[in-house]
Amino acid sequence: MHLSDGTPVQTPKQEGDRNVEFTKFMRTYQNMVFSTAARLSGNDAQAEDIAQEVFLRAHRRFDELRDNPRAAGWLKTVATNLTFTHLTRYRKRWVFFSQLQSADEGENDPVLDFADDASVVEEVRADERHEYVEAALRELPEHQRLPLVLFHFEDLPYEEIAQKLRISLPKVKTDIHRARQALAAILARHGITAEQLEA
């Protein structure tokens, strides 16, 4: 997405109006930006930092973004890229210390039978279920959460995910599959059944 980088000179009144408009703009998109960063990073504090940086960049280009129908896409792309930058900064350490265990992780997970869980009687309300799902996403290891979020929330194809994460296509598919299994297992552990999920 091409957006030029102009910084026009403005009077204080114009600057004040601009800030009011920018605040409205921020209120429109802040949940989307924060959600993208939070789901990818799995950390709310980091997501807030990333969202702040996204809006600071948006402010510099606000004259082009304010009436641009592609503003949401631009913000989402910047949020995704900044999250990747943030995660890659720690990736080498992270891979060394955290993913040593991930090679065989999930191999011994029991296969879930979604149709066979009638023992749970407590009905979980929809908003609570949403919170459970978000918490379960945060609980996933990074190498599973990232491709899962990119596939299901960002609608990226496997090939693009592999390219973005610099991993092989089979690994992307395996990680996403294991992420789904892990997510379902976490939710089942907290009493959420397939029927409730589909409801």
Partner 1 sequence: MTHPQQPAPDERALEQLIGSVLRQQPLRRAPATLEARVLRELAVRAAHPWWQLGFSHWPRAARILCLPVGMALVPLSFLITSRLLSLWQSVQQSTPANAAQSGWRWLENLGQALQALGNVVTREIPQWWVYGGACAALLMYAALFGLGAAAFRTLFVTSEPVRYPS
Contact pick of 84, 120, 153, 164 for partner 1 (by CB under 8 A): 153
Q: Which of 67, 116, 122, 198 is in the footprint of partner 1 by CB under 8 A?
A: 198
Instruction: Please identify, among the stretches 2-10, 67-75, 80-88, 159-167, the one whose residues bind partner 1 according to the rule CB under 8 A.
Output: 2-10
| Contact status: 152 vs partner 1 (CB under 8 A) | yes
The residue assigned the tokens 């991930």 is 102
- Cβ neighbours, 10 Å, residue 151: 20
Taking the complex as a whole, how short is the minimal distance between the CB of residue 152 and partner 1, in angstroms? 4
Here the contacts of 17-20 (C-beta below 8 Å, separation 24 or greater) are: 18/62
By the rule CB under 8 A, 3 interacts with partner 1? no
**Does 95 contact partner 1 by CB under 8 A?**
no
CA-CA distance, 136 to 130, in Å (whole number)? 10
Interatomic CA distance for residues 148 and 138, integer angstroms = 12
Assess 99 for contact with partner 1 (CB under 8 A): no
Q: Residue 98: name the closest of 146, 163, 45, 53 by CA.
A: 146
Q: How far apart are CA 62 and CA 65, in angstroms?
A: 5
- Show contacts with partner 1 in window 108-137 (CB under 8 A): 111-112, 114, 128, 130-136
Query: Any idea what DSSP says for residue 118?
Result: T
Region 10-39 residues binding partner 1, contact defined as CB under 8 A: 19, 23, 26-27, 30-35, 38-39
Cα distance from N-terminal residue to C-terminal residue, the chain = 38
Q: What is the rounded CA–CA span in Å between residue 38 and residue 138?
A: 9
Binding of residue 180 to partner 1 (CB under 8 A): yes
Q: Where on the chain is the footprint of partner 1 (CB under 8 A)? A: 5-7, 19, 23, 26-27, 30-35, 38-39, 42-45, 48, 51-52, 55-56, 59-60, 93, 96-98, 111-112, 114, 128, 130-136, 138-139, 148, 152-153, 170, 173-174, 177, 180-181, 183-184, 190, 194, 197-198
